[in-house]
Copies of this chain bind each other. A is one copy, B any other.
Amino acid sequence: MVIIIARISAKTETLAELRQILKDLVAPSRAEAGCISYELFQDNDDPRDFITVENWGDSAAANAHLATPHVAAAIAQAGVLLAQPPLIHRFTQLA
């Protein structure tokens, strides 16, 4: 399994717009053949911070996700809305 955990931070004035883009990305991502799970979270103390926790099964599926049209469209839309570049890391589940 390859787990991707991504932290995506909005600016105060772009929070609502970025939130919608991230929510719209969930359904097409879950519909990908390699998607085992894909969850979106918002920080209770700082609602400008979002985290996705994604299980892609293997590296090929994770790489395929990043090359999909819906991810490309989200990146194109979200770029100017971000407070900083997304922090995207790959993880291995220990338990």
Q: Which residues does A use to contact B, with CB under 8 Å?
A: 2-3, 5, 19, 22-23, 26-27, 39-45, 49-51, 53, 89-95
Decide if B40 touches A95 in the complex (CB within 8 Å).
yes
Q: CA A61 – CA B88 in complex, angstroms?
A: 29
Interface of A: prevailing SS: strand
B44 near A91: Cβ-Cβ < 8 Å: yes
Chain B proximity of A41: nearest CB distance (Å): 4
Question: For the complex, what is the distance from the CA of A45 to the CA of B88, rounded to whole Å?
Answer: 11
Additional A-B contact list (20), CB under 8 Å, known A5-B51, A22-B94, A27-B95: A3-B41, A5-B53, A23-B95, A26-B94, A26-B95, A40-B94, A40-B95, A41-B91, A41-B92, A41-B93, A41-B94, A42-B91, A42-B92, A42-B94, A43-B89, A43-B91, A44-B92, A49-B89, A50-B94, A53-B53
